[in-house]
Amino acid sequence: MGYSARQLRSTVTAGGQLELSLAMSEVPDPATDDVIVRIEAAPINPSDLGLLFGPADMRTARASGTPDAPIVTADIPGHLMSGVTARVDQSLPVGNEGAGVVIAAGDSVPAQALLGKTVGVIGGAMYSQYRAVKTSQCLAFREGTTPAEGASWFVNPLTALGMVETMRREGHKALVHTAAASNLGQMLNRLCVQDGVDLVNIVRRGEQETLLRKIGATHVVDSSTPTFKEDLVAALSATGATLAFDATGGGTLASQILTCMEIAQSANAKEYSRYGSSTHKQVYIYGGLDRSPTELTRNFGMAWGLGGWLLTGFLQAIGSGKMQELRDRVAAEITTTFASHYTQEVSLAEALQLEAIATYGKQATGEKYLINPNKAV
Amino acid sequence: MGYSARQLRSTVTAGGQLELSLAMSEVPDPATDDVIVRIEAAPINPSDLGLLFGPADMRTARASGTPDAPIVTADIPGHLMSGVTARVDQSLPVGNEGAGVVIAAGDSVPAQALLGKTVGVIGGAMYSQYRAVKTSQCLAFREGTTPAEGASWFVNPLTALGMVETMRREGHKALVHTAAASNLGQMLNRLCVQDGVDLVNIVRRGEQETLLRKIGATHVVDSSTPTFKEDLVAALSATGATLAFDATGGGTLASQILTCMEIAQSANAKEYSRYGSSTHKQVYIYGGLDRSPTELTRNFGMAWGLGGWLLTGFLQAIGSGKMQELRDRVAAEITTTFASHYTQEVSLAEALQLEAIATYGKQATGEKYLINPNKAV
């Protein structure tokens, strides 16, 4: 028996090409603790694009194949091939998270309990018509939640919760977030309002500030204005924020944030210390919107840290009890605090159209795509 | 009563000048738990130069005053003045550590016990003939230890111990050290040999490699050679080092270390992960030999950290019991594991000669000065 499922695949070839295509995969009948989910909604997150596009230069993308079985090919700059040795010539499925309906279940009680339910699913390969997953990879939504409403249940909600939780665990009292008008940024604003946490939003354009103010953001700083540095220092002084999450990674933004934190912290210093404030200032890079090198002008004393922040590492660190608590909260607030919005819902084939790729590949604020693998072409 | 002590001073003027000079300071009779130490040896450490020179361009240094009361003046680039606002127009004494003989003591038992003893002292202003300090700022050496042997008892020994202790606390199994042929670097090698800790030494010149091999270093990598990257990966693979202490700070070295750590860690990876190895890789910048910006090419996954490392912060974190244990070890091994070597012993006035400043200001490996504030001019 089993199910045949159409699935989106990404391959990096030894010849230096990226190939995107659709392939059929066999989904077996469910094992005891497994369920089969008909995936009806899966977002294209920035965190999916790394696997989807690899290091390819998508400006070179060209289409071939048929409308029903499109193929997209793009060139990978030679010097970037060494970074993807481990995936060469493997046809990899894509899509971190999604939601759908449980259409078959194994014999176990937890599996049977999910039969017919709308669930969020995590575990990769979500740009597929059907997925066999363990019950622990599922989150059952309340009656009435649709797959489209629940599709982005894991990456953004748990990242937002993870940022606030990291702040508490590491002893900071407020947060800074860059690229703050993103879907995740808006979610983080709702969460911080809910939890009474001060949040400094850094945006890159005036209209993004307007958008965030509209949803109740108090501290919004626009990095494109000449008063950016002063505005940021003022917001950091007002909130006491000494922890930032940076989605961009490259350039000088992380350095500027550390500098402004140091200025805000030193304003209360009683005597000169050539090592700067003794308050630890931390920036975590959790995304790579800007792939250029990170440049630090170290004028922020010695009590600072910069590092990578990865949701999976955070979830491992907090343990399964806390993890369950966070998941339960997501299920309860998936249509409010953790709601996501999309500009397009596309089929698997439509997701491989060059025009679509050019749009969601930009990772522009407000342009978010949702794939429905069971939508007809 | 009390003592009159000649003392070296550093002033940043509102007019944008650095002024180094000698001044007299009054040392009061000792309070109950204080002792008066006649300082006979105080090293010029890299960590003293920040306070001594501030952000001045020492190539502009010129001499005035008299042989007995020399004055050195140098220009401070205008854009660097904002970093030293807190010390403007204050005549600041200099010198983090030193050693000498206790010539007077307060009434307390611990103070009286130090009378006549040769002690190491910490607490600033050590480029002075006499210092009144608390007994807790002193470390009594064994009979026969000279002030010159004990002068560098705190900064380098506790930094070396702190690096190894940080490695253990943060769960790493081996260490990387840059500028590894320095006095501190040689000390760290002796300590690691003693404690059976694998150490990867990064040096900048062939003769530094020779020097380290001579004192028993196993892993020495020369960053000036074309095979640097391969050599570093090999040493990191052999040792499993995922923690580095970088004395330079600027440029691309920290980034290269993280990259090579990632390559060494990924060599054993079973499957491709676009987030890289899940093993945390950490570089601490503890010095600033290179004041240029730090540039990170983030090709080392997401499990990484970069940060400042400051001895005082480390000592606060470990608490007083552990601190005492480390100090006791320094006292026991001050002429072996923690021995320092100097190229020059100079008086206070000699330390302000332009030629001397040009030499110790370079922070060149093997050029280390010792000030004897009680040496005649």
Q: Give the whole-angstrom CA distance, residue A140 versus residue A135.
A: 10
pLDDT band at A272 (very low <50, low <70, confident <90, very high): low
Q: Has residue A365 got a pLDDT over 90?
A: no
What is the C-alpha to C-alpha distance for residues A334 and A141, in angstroms, rounded to an integer? 8
Flag if B302 and A294 touch (Cβ within 8 Å): no
Is residue A158 within 8 A of residue A326, CB to CB? The reply is yes
- pLDDT recorded at residue B360: 93
- Tens of pLDDT, residue by residue over A100-114, are 999 999 999 999 999
pLDDT score of B370: 97
- Residue pLDDT, tens place only, A154-178: 999 999 999 999 999 999 999 999 9
Query: What does each C-alpha distance from B40 to B28, B116, B154, B209 come to in angstroms?
Result: 19, 14, 16, 33
Question: pLDDT by residue (tens digit) across A21-37?
Answer: 999 999 999 999 999 99
What is the pLDDT averaged over residues B186-193?
96
Q: What is the mean pLDDT of residues B332-340?
A: 96
Does the pLDDT value for residue B18 go beyond 90? yes
Chain B residues 87-146 within an 8 A CB cutoff of chain A: 87, 90
pLDDT at position B85 is 86
Chain-centre distance of CA A138, in angstroms?
Answer: 18
Are A285 and B266 a contacting pair at CB < 8 A? Answer: no
Which residues, 6+ apart, have CB-to-CB distance to A273 below 8 Å?
A: A301, B86
Rounded CA-CA distance B248/B246 in Å is 6
Residue whose C-alpha is closest to residue A118's, from A145, A158, A156: A145
pLDDT of residue B185: 95
User: Between these two residues, B113 and B270, which has the higher pLDDT value?
Assistant: B113
Residues 255-314 in B contacting A (C-alpha not used; CB under 8 Å):
255, 266, 269, 271-275, 278, 285, 288, 293-299, 301-310, 312-313
Consecutive H or E run containing A48: helix A46-53
The answer, yes or no, to whether residue B364 has pLDDT greater than 80, is no
pTM across the whole model:
0.88
Per the CB < 8 A criterion, the answer to whether B202 and B226 are in contact is: no
pLDDT of residue A362: 85
Computed from CA positions of residues A288, A291, A293, A298, in that sequence, does the dihedral angle turn out positive or negative? negative
Q: From chain A, pick out residues whose CB is under 8 angstroms from the CB of B266.
A: 86
Which residues of A are less than 8 Å from B83 in CB distance? 299
Could you give the CA distance from residue B360 to residue B21 in angstroms, rounded to a whole number? 17
Mean pLDDT of chain A: 94
| pLDDT at residue B134 greater than cutoff 70 | yes
State yes or no: pLDDT of A7 exceeds 70: yes
CB < 8 Å to B50, chain A: 274
Mean pLDDT of B138-162: 97
Residue A268 has pLDDT above 90, yes or no: no
pLDDT confidence bin for B3, thresholds 50/70/90:
confident
Alpha-carbon span B23 to B257, nearest angstrom:
45
pLDDT of residue B270: 66
pLDDT tops 80 at residue A204: yes
Nearest to A324 by CA among A161, A169, A82, A204: A161
Residue B145 per-residue DSSP state: -
B341 φ/ψ angles, rounded to the nearest 5 degrees:
-130, 145
Q: Using the predicted structure, report yes or no on whether residue B92 has a pLDDT greater than 70.
A: yes
List the single range of A58-72, A204-218, A285-299, B356-370 with lowest mean pLDDT.
B356-370
Q: Which band of pLDDT confidence, cut at 50, 70 and 90, is reported for residue B167?
A: very high
What's the pLDDT at A270?
A: 65
- Residues in chain B closer than 8 A to A92 (CB atoms): 272
pLDDT of residue B162: 98
pLDDT score of B275 more than 90: no
Nearest residue of B to residue A85, measured between CA atoms: B272
Between positions 197 and 236 of A, the ones with CB within 8 A of B are none
Share the mean pLDDT of chain B: 94
Residue B306 and residue A303: Cβ atoms within 8 Å?
no
Nearest CA in chain B to A287: B302
Nearest to B308 among A87, A272, A303 (CB): A303
Predicted confidence (pLDDT) at residue B47 exceeds the cutoff of 80: yes
Which chain B residue has its CA at the smallest distance from A295's CA? B295
Residues on chain A touching B274 (C-beta within 8 angstroms): 50-51
Shortest Cα–Cα distance, A272 to chain B (Å):
5
Span B218-244, pLDDT tens digits: 999 999 999 999 999 999 999 999 999
Asked if B278 and A250 come within 8 Å (Cβ–Cβ), the reply is no
Single-letter amino acid, residue A136: S
Give the pLDDT of residue B268: 72
CB contact under 8 A, B249 and A313: no
